[in-house]
Amino acid sequence: MISDQSLSETGLSASGAGRVLVIACGALAREILALKAANRWDHIDLTCLPAKLHLYPEKISDAVRDAVAEHRDAYAQILIAYADCGTGGGLEATCKELGVEMIAGPHCYAFFDGNEAFAARAETEITAFYLTDFLVRQFDAFVWRPMGFDRYPELIQTMFGNYDRLIYLAQTDDAALDAKAEDAARRLGLRYERRATGYGDLASALRDFATQTA
C-alpha cells in the first residue's frame, strides 16, 4: 500500500478523519489522482494495493479484505477501485460481504473503454490484445519479462499467435506513450491501433462516489 508518508507527499490526508477513501489497484493511481485534482474532490483520500497483484488475481480479494479492515474505522465510506480483474466473481462476493462498493466491469480495459462499448465490440475484438497507459509504461515489467519473452522469444508466437492486433486504450494524449505502445505491438508482431478512451467509466464511478459522499 501507499504509506502515510507517500499520502502526505501527494497532498492526501493521512489521518482519514471525517473523510472517505478509495482503495485502488496501483495501476489506477495516476488516473485517480488526476481525476481527484481536476474535480477538486478534496474529501476523498486514496490508498493503493500493489499493481503486481494482477499477476496473482487469486490474491486480490484477500488483499482488499485486509485493506478494508485496516482503514474501515477511520473512514465513513470506502470505494474499491477494482473491477473483477480475474477473480472470477470472488472480489464482488468479498465486497458484498464487507458492505463496500466496487467498480462494475470485468477489468480495467472494459471500464476505460466504457463497459457497454467494450461488450459491444467483444466479438470483433476477440483477437485483440489491450494496453492502458499504465501497461504501456510498465510493458516490460508486466508483460515482457513475466511471460519470459526476454529469455525465450520463441514463446511470443506460442502465446500471441492467435492475436492479430494490439489496441492501446489511451487515457491521455501523450506522443511518447503512443510511441512506446506502437513499439510494444512491433515486439509482439501485432498490428497497432490506438483508441482514445480517456478515463471512461472510472470517471463516472468516482464522480458518483464523490457526489454521494460530499
For residues 134 and 181, the answer to whether their CB atoms sit within 8 Å is: no
What is the pLDDT at residue 43? 96
Measure the CA–CA gap between 28 and 26, rounded to whole angstroms: 5
The mean pLDDT value for 152-169 works out to 97
Q: Which pLDDT tens digit goes with each residue over 165-183?
A: 999 999 999 999 999 999 9
Q: Which long-range contacts (CB under 8 A, 24 or more apart) does 59-65 make?
A: 60/85, 60/86, 60/87, 60/90, 60/91, 61/87, 61/90, 61/91, 61/93, 61/94, 64/23, 64/91, 64/94, 64/95, 64/98, 65/94, 65/98
Query: How many CB atoms sit inside 10 A of residue 141's CB?
Result: 13
Whether the pLDDT of residue 4 is over 70: the answer is: no
DSSP character at residue 70? H
- Across 144-172, average pLDDT: 97
In the predicted model, is pLDDT for residue 14 greater than 60? no
Which residue bears the cell 458484498?
A: 96
Q: Is the pLDDT of residue 112 over 50?
A: yes
How much is the mean pLDDT over the chain? 92
User: For the ranges 6-15, 90-99, 102-111, 190-199, which has the lowest average pLDDT?
Assistant: 6-15
Tell me what pLDDT residue 212 has.
94
Task: Give the pLDDT band (50/70/90) at residue 6.
Answer: very low
Q: In the predicted model, what is the mean pLDDT of residues 69-93?
A: 97
Nearest CA-CA partner of 44 in 3, 98, 7: 7
pLDDT at 11 (0 to 100): 35
- Residue 105 has what DSSP assignment? S
Q: Under CATH, what is the fold of the domain 4-107+200-213?
A: Rossmann fold (3.40.50)
Q: Which pLDDT score is estimated for 1?
A: 32
Q: Which pLDDT score, from 0 to 100, does residue 18 have?
A: 61
Return the bridge partners of 193, or none. Answer: 167
Q: Would you list the domain boundaries of the chain?
A: 4-107+200-213, 115-196
pLDDT (mean) for 139-150: 97
Mean of pLDDT values over 76-84? 97
Quickly tell me which residue has 506513450 as its cell.
177
Which of 177, 179, 202 is CA-nearest to residue 39?
202
| Residue 102 scores a pLDDT above 50 | yes
Higher pLDDT, 101 or 11: 101
pLDDT at residue 214 in the model: 87
Nearest to 25 by CA among 101, 85, 114, 71: 85
Helix residue spans in 57-199 (DSSP H): 60-71, 90-98, 108-113, 115-120, 133-137, 139, 155-160, 175-188
Instruction: State what percent of residues in the chain have pLDDT above 90.
Output: 91
